[in-house]
Amino acid sequence: MEKFLKIFKRRQVIIGMIHLKALPGTPAYQNNNTDIIAAAVAEAKLYKKAGIDALAIENMHDVPYIKNDVGHEISTMMAVIGREIKRETNLPCGIQILSSANKAALAVAKAADLDFIRAEGFVYGHLADEGYIDACAGDLLRYRKQIDAEHIAVFTDIKKKHSSHALTADVSLVETAKTAAYFRSDGLLITGSSTGSAASIEEIKAVKAACNIPVIVGSGVTRDNLETYLFHSDALIVGSYFKQNGHWNNPLDYDKIVGFMEKVNKLRA
């Protein structure tokens, strides 16, 4: 919890997602680097104006994803964007590089002075739409040590969305969480089955009771269910709800963010 509080200065943190436009080399890329950077920074500034606590960037438009080795063209671009966002907002900011490019995310966070990464496949393994994702805790945390980046928090998905967990069906979510905590995770991410799907409050409570590290809700948070999730977790990552019509692919809806944060601040008072 110490690292979490050093980054965010409080609990019950709201993290707004920035889904970057398609990056170089991916099928939807439009040879528009200046526009990609400008759009990401504009969203970051809009979030800050609306009162968000923290930000996270992700290469969501780079479909179809490849696993682990995404290419220097992706990580370099994300480092440039991350650095610009930090400079313009001075908010806590993190990164996820899809898919499961966790070492690359750490390198970007180090170069761009970001505060945390979101890591897939930290413990055990699972079958994702990109293929089999192997566990990475040992290699990832050794790499963090090697590049002198131990101040960067590694928040880890457990039983990750968009994935099959048949191979670990005999390992419960709580046992997976306990293993991740034992393997030195800085925070546990719990999601629903897909982007925008609500996470189980019963699972969140069970993990929170079993593990003495931060618990972060990673999908399905809305203004209507905010109170339920806020008081049973340490942070909420919100993406789809903040977009027009509640779809991750749409532009941000400033008024929805403002209304959401107004309710957050009343509940936290």
CA distance 167 to 7: 35
> Two tokens at 28?
């939807």
Q: Which of 75, 91, 84, 73 is nearest to 40 (CA)?
A: 84
Ranges in the chain, pLDDT < 50: none
Q: Cα dist. 108→80, 104, 135, 166 in Å? A: 9, 6, 21, 32
**Per-residue DSSP letter, 122:** -
pLDDT tens string 218-261 = 888 999 999 999 999 999 999 999 999 999 999 999 999 999 99
Identity (one letter) of the amino acid at 251?
P
Range of the domain at 128: 2-268
CATH number at 139 reads: 3.20.20.70
Contacts of 235 (CB under 8 A, 6+ apart): 4, 8, 11, 12, 13, 14, 15, 54, 187, 214, 216, 217
Say what the pTM is. Answer: 0.95
CA distance 43 to 228: 27
Number of domains within the chain: 1
What pLDDT was estimated at residue 255? 97
